[in-house]
Amino acid sequence: MEGHASRTQQTLPVAVQEKHQPKAELLTRTLQSALEQRASDIHIEPADNAYRIRLRIDGVLHPLPDVSPDAGVALTARLKVLGNLDIAEHRLPQDGQFTVELAGNAVSFRIATLACRGGEKVVLRLLQQVNQALDVNTLGMQPSQLVDFAHALQQPQGLVLVTGPTGSGKTVTLYSALQMLNTADINICSVEDPVEIPIAGLNQTQIHSRAGLTFQGVLRALLRQDPDVIMIGEIRDGETAEIAIKAAQTGHLVLSTLHTNSTCETLVRLQQMGVARWMLSSALTLVKPSVWYANFARIVAGSKGSPSIFQTMYGRRRCPTGRHPVVYIATTVFMVARPYLKFCL
């Protein structure tokens, strides 16, 4: 974790420039508000005669006060500068990443822009506090689930998938697994879009589609780098899935994510991508679905401990007294034994 934490010692850009007060203060206030309320995303979008700012908290967008068009344009321009984007490009979508210091903490954001009616829409994804520890023991899994998860990570080969909707904690789960495997006697390589959390000891490659550096191309190159563990940021198409499964069948432990809502949907999605059933049954080691649930108003946690299974599955109600930190509850379906996989197929 030394390299992971050392980034906090670097000189980081501030979110605002003093000479642009007071408009530039808006960026710091917005980022700080998102951090304090544990938002996963920040939406900045042009509307009629204003710019609308919203925070996605527990899966729901919550509005902040609108700002003037001039302030919205200035906010967008500053974010593009921080993300090393082309500030003069307003028609094509752009993606980037930046790290700033907020309240003494180094915090990373991913930025994506898109032209729409009235201007450019910007979405920021809060990636991770740079000095936040990555530990599988803090992911909220039950002891039996943690044992299954750790057992899958100790296998010499196979495919481990972390699935779930956007903002469900897939990235943190994946990086925590990599940190657990990160030892001097293992060669870990990753292909990501973008590199969300830099970790010392990992060979992390960021794709660049416009330059011809794609998931498929990098994966083929990684197989010639003598890897023990390969991490793929996301399986997006059939070709990437096929390469990942073939790598998992030839002596590599492959970790990746997939945007599905359940274990069964994961199998269906892979088959829809063109992956043969026999390849799935021979390569797939574990599917770990994950989901963020709203905190149950501290009602259960304050008196009776964990929510009941009925509340977990059907009671996704939100806290009536305010926005509390979410509780991470992993779904209980773990697919580990290969015979069970074959039965499901």
Domain positions in the chain: 2-129, 136-290+330-344
- What pLDDT sits at residue 224? 94
Closest CA to 262 of 327, 317, 330, 318: 330
CATH class (in words) of the domain with range 136-290+330-344: alpha beta
Cβ(15)–Cβ(27) under 8 Å? yes
Q: What crossing angle do the helices spanning 170-181 and 143-153 adopt, rounded to 10°?
A: 60
Q: Return d(Cα 136, Cα 172) in angstroms, integer.
A: 9
For residue 69, whether the previous peptide bond is cis, meaning omega lies within 30 degrees of 0, is no
pLDDT of residue 132: 60
Would you list the DSSP string of 153-213? HTSSSEEEEEE-STTSSHHHHHHHHHHHH--TT--EEEEESS--S--TT-EEEE-BGGGTB
For the chain, 345 residues long, give each residue's pLDDT as a single digit of tens: 445 444 444 445 544 443 444 666 889 899 999 998 989 899 999 998 999 999 998 778 999 999 999 999 999 999 999 999 999 999 999 988 898 888 788 888 999 999 999 899 999 998 765 556 688 888 878 888 888 899 999 999 999 999 887 777 788 889 999 999 999 999 999 999 888 888 889 999 998 877 888 888 999 999 999 999 999 999 999 999 999 999 999 999 999 999 888 788 888 999 999 999 888 888 999 988 876 544 433 333 333 444 443 333 333 333 433 443 333 333 333 444 343 343 333
**2-129: CATH topology:** Beta-Lactamase (3.30.450)
The predicted pLDDT at position 303 comes to 38
In contact, 97 and 111? CB cutoff 8 Å = yes
Q: The sheet that has 188-192: what strands, in order across it?
A: 203-206, 188-192, 229-232, 253-258, 158-163, 284-289
